[in-house]
Structure 1
Amino acid sequence: MFGIHDFWLFLASGVLLNIAPGPDTAYVAARSVQLGWRGGVAAAFGISTGCLTHVFAAAVGLSALLMASATAFTAVKWIGAAYLCYVGLTMLLSRTLPADETASREHATVALARVFWQGALTNALNPKVALFFLAFLPQFVDAYAPHKGLAFLALGLMFISSGTVWCLTVAIVAARAAGRVRGSGRAIEFVNRGLGALFVYLGARIALAHAK
């Protein structure tokens, strides 16, 4: 179909890549500890949304253009790095969540939207994610296939679907295991600091990335 070959190898490789420990899994787990399963679910769907932008870009050839253009790659790289460092520093300098129940609910409502967009933009503005899809997906598409764009889209959607299922599982498991942790202001502050450090680290990695 669409020139896709070695489908089962792709499926197995995609599952293994998705369940391998990484920044996305860490982000979902940390948000689940901080905000409960809703926070983890928001993070998971945000990450998937960010990845979707690269899949659609690969399908229409925009990612290839990004890879070929040093100027475009550098621009996206620095925008993504600046955003991640900003988010990270904001979290490192943030205070513990308010203890008042009403204030906490209002904070959580705002935080869920923020969690979603942080996850989405973290992936959407990361050129290394675009390069990953460009390097991985073509391995399972016939070079002479008449509908390469549709093949990229189909493979990308399957890869993201398995990743979303994994992240949702992580969100639920982490939230259930961390019920007591969320009641501790110090624990929440520790999670905020950890997430902030993670974002700054990712921003630095993206800033140092280069197209090969």
Structure 2
Amino acid sequence: MLGLSAAALAGYLAAIVVLMLTPGPDMMFVLANAARYGARAGVVAALGVAAGEAVHVTAVVCGLAAAISASPVLFTVIRWAGAAYLVLLGVRALRSAGGPAIATDGADARPGRAFLRGLVTNLLNPKMILFSVAFLPQFVSPASGDVTAQLVLLGALFVAVQLTVDIALGVGAGRLAGRLADGRWARRINRICAVAFVALGLRLATSS
């Protein structure tokens, strides 16, 4: 496949599966939406996150991500914007933690809102920029064929695995929240995600 060996592709897939299962802003956002608004919201949030990652992959292919990561000022602006957004998500989640187990009304329950927030959460994560720049090219071999085509393939696989994992988490969390009638599990997950958002935002703001 485009000159890439089966062993290289298998190693790449294994690496991104492990990475996708590591808790981070994207996973927390999907879980929070699924616990609060149901499985459908979790799936839509996962689609938004995947769309953001597709933008990152496109930027890598076009060379934009390398330019951003090489600009200290621009990278710092993105880092602070991402940190502020994560803290904002955490505060909003804490404020809504005392509500009903599954909310079905209000602006925040609309599918479009979950998609947009998932997209922004991923785009404002500067570590995804660095990750995309540093990770994807490691599996590209100029001797194996067109470099751009290899990057597109590897990026598509990355987005597909991320989408699969996040959808599975969103559907599972949403269904479990719906079955627990008292809502304690959903509110507990919501609080955990809220604290995680704030902690991740503060960590991002203070990281070098």
Q: TM-score, normalised by structure 1?
A: 0.82
Displacement of 1:191 in angstroms is 3.7
Q: Partner letter of residue 65 of structure 2?
A: S
Displacement of 1:105 in angstroms is 3.4
- Aligned equivalent of 2:67, options 54, 58, 65: 65
Check whether the contact 2:79–2:205 (CA below 8 A) recurs between aligned residues: yes
Matches within 5 A, 1:35-50: 35-50=37-52
Q: After the TM superposition, which segments of 4 or more aligned residues of structure 1 sit over 6 Å from their partners?
A: none
Distance 2:109 2:34 in 1: 15
Cα displacement string for residues 90-129 of structure 1 (whole angstroms, at most 9, x for unaligned residues): 2223464369x9xx53327744332222221111011101
Question: CA, structure 1 residues 124+205, in 2 after alignment: closer, same or farther (shift >3 Å)?
Answer: same
Distance 1:207 1:2 in 2: 40
Q: TM-score, normalised by structure 2?
A: 0.84
Distance 1:185 1:125 in 2: 31
Check whether the contact 2:41–2:109 (CA below 8 A) recurs between aligned residues: no
Q: Partner letter of residue 160 of structure 1?
A: V
Displacement of 1:189 in angstroms is 4.2
Q: Which segment drifts farther, 105-114 or 193-202?
A: 105-114
Gaps of 5+ in 1: none
Secondary structure of 1:178's counterpart equals helix
Q: Partner letter of residue 106 of structure 2?
A: H
- Aligned equivalent of 2:92, options 76, 90, 93: 90
Q: Which residue of structure 1 lines up, in the alignment, with residue 169 of structure 2?
A: 170
Q: Partner letter of residue 137 of structure 1?
A: L
Distance 1:98 1:16 in 2: 34
Distance 1:164 1:67 in 2: 25
- Superposed CA RMSD in Å reads 2.7
Q: Which segment drifts farther, 28-37 or 71-80?
A: 28-37
Distance 1:124 1:36 in 2: 24
Secondary structure of 2:173's counterpart equals helix
Distance 1:174 1:110 in 2: 16
Gaps of 5+ in 2: none
Q: Which residue of structure 1 lines up, in the alignment, with residue 136 of structure 2?
A: 137
Q: Which residue of structure 1 lines up, in the alignment, with residue 17 of structure 2?
A: 15
Distance 1:135 1:163 in 2: 18
Distance 1:134 1:204 in 2: 24
Q: Which segment drifts farther, 105-114 or 197-206?
A: 105-114
Q: Percent of counterpart pairs with the same letter?
A: 38
Distance 2:183 2:14 in 1: 41
Q: Which residue of structure 2 lines up, in the alignment, with residue 200 of structure 1?
A: 198
Check whether the contact 2:30–2:169 (CA below 8 A) recurs between aligned residues: yes
Question: CA, structure 1 residues 70+113, in 2 after alignment: closer, same or farther (shift >3 Å)?
Answer: same
Q: Partner letter of residue 75 of structure 1?
A: V
